[in-house]
Chains A and B, each alone.
Chain A
Amino acid sequence: MTKTTMTVNGKSVSAATEGRTLLSAYLRDGLGLTGTHIGCDTSQCGACVVHVDGLAVKSCSVFAQDIEGADVKTIEGMANADGSLSVLQQAFQDHHGLQCGFCTPGMVMSSAALLAENPNPTEHQVRDYLEGNLCRCTGYHNIVKAVMAASDQAVPAE
């Protein structure tokens, strides 16, 4: 075991790791940040998406030690400073972009990465960007609506 340090949601943190410790395990088991979900553990579902140095990655497919020192953002870091939901999170609630909520942390993190890259995506671009995020409940339409609404654009019709 060695100690691995990085910045998570703006705070410098460290936790014990083995070589094989995944970033998802580092966050959940090492730091108790269980908002990052493990759906498939095989880089298919996107429930575990977090930002590493501003880029969306599947945390189940990255070794914690390989990103030592990185700046990581998880769903726990997405709300506003006063604890209220961010515009994107609020849009997911307003547009029923979640049902069971299992995929939601990954959906929010991927959508946030998209909006950082492209503040005014088309509906097609939203669907394309969320290709690696699977949802078993919503049928995706409401998720796409939430992202369009969060980017201050017209929400696609039913």
Chain B
Amino acid sequence: MYDFTLVKPKNLADAVAAIADGAQALSGGQTLLPTMKQRLADPGTLVSLSGIPELHGVCKGDGGIIIGGATPHAVVAREAAKYYPALAALANQIGDPAVRNRGTIGGSIANNDPSACYPAAALGSGAIIQTNTREIAADDYFRGMFETALHEGEIVTGVKFPVPQKAAYIKFVQPASRFALVGAFVAQFADGVRVAITGASNNGVFRWAEAEAALSANFAPKALMGLTLPADDMISDLHGTAEYRAHLCGVMVKRAVMAA
């Protein structure tokens, strides 16, 4: 690993200033450390977000719950359970306990791995991504595999989740990594159903409009009968072909509807 200087600011303003100077954010490090070990990143200076109280915690706000950008998965699993059980359950299925004690929601959302779990929750809930400069609707935030609407130097300070009437996340676990081979997040709101799929597409997390329309009319697995997704844009690797993933999308959404 290339060496670097670590700074650990105690407030957001100092972190923003350091990152504006060209440093990179370090949150839980569960993605960044492996990348640095492979010498795929040479950040020069890393700004740890772990000592900034304003980026930590789960609280109930106007129109939903707000999770601080540096809140570890294990804390979300525990503290979001009474407000948004489906979200807490998703957090509790990420990786393993040691990964959940370090990895954070901000790191996951900033990284936007095409097989990560939180992007499905954010897009499926119609969440708002809060940064140090603005608020971005999830529909505008996820821009493809490892691509987001974040500008250089912008920090995810929190994610605001509207709480649906019913929701569930079901993932088909890729057994070696615990990421989603395919994962589906289904959320029923008063004005309709949202369905977000992770792990499947070469373009990262996406909404499945036909499934949303069918489930908004009838929130039952049988509403999805006959609906399929084309395999053209699906990920194909040694764990599953594009056709297999396209098929799994339907299966995971049905299971999520049953679990919701």
Q: Which residues of A contact B (CB under 8 A)?
A: 18-20, 22, 41-43, 46, 49, 52, 55-58, 61-63, 65-66, 68, 110, 113-114, 129, 131-133
Inter-chain CA distance A57–B28, complex, in Å, is: 11
> Residue of B at shortest CB range from A132?
B96
- Which residues of B sit under 8 angstroms from A22, Cβ to Cβ? 33
- Does B50 make an interface contact (CB < 8 A)? yes
A-B contacts besides A63-B33, A132-B97, 11 pairs, CB < 8 Å: A19-B46, A22-B33, A43-B30, A43-B98, A43-B99, A56-B97, A61-B29, A61-B33, A61-B102, A131-B97, A132-B98
How many A-B pairs have beta carbons closer than 8 Å: the answer is 74
Partner of A20, one of B4, B8, B101: B4
Q: Which residues of B contact A (CB under 8 A)?
A: 1-6, 8, 26, 29-30, 33-34, 36-37, 46, 48, 50, 74, 95-99, 101-102, 178
- Min CB distance B252 to A, Å, is 20
B101, A19: Cβ atoms closer than 8 Å: no
- Which residues of B sit under 8 angstroms from A52, Cβ to Cβ? 101
Secondary structure of the B contact surface, majority rule: mixed
Known: A42-B34, A43-B30. A19 touches B98 (CB 8 A): no
Complex A-B: 22 CB contacts under 8 Å: A19-B4, A19-B5, A19-B46, A20-B3, A22-B33, A41-B37, A43-B33, A43-B98, A46-B98, A52-B101, A55-B101, A56-B101, A57-B102, A58-B98, A58-B102, A63-B6, A65-B8, A114-B97, A132-B95, A132-B96, A132-B97, A132-B99
Known: A43-B34, A61-B33, A66-B50. A19 touches B102 (CB 8 A): no
- Which residues of A sit under 8 angstroms from B178, Cβ to Cβ? 131
- Which residues of A sit under 8 angstroms from B33, Cβ to Cβ? 22, 43, 61-63
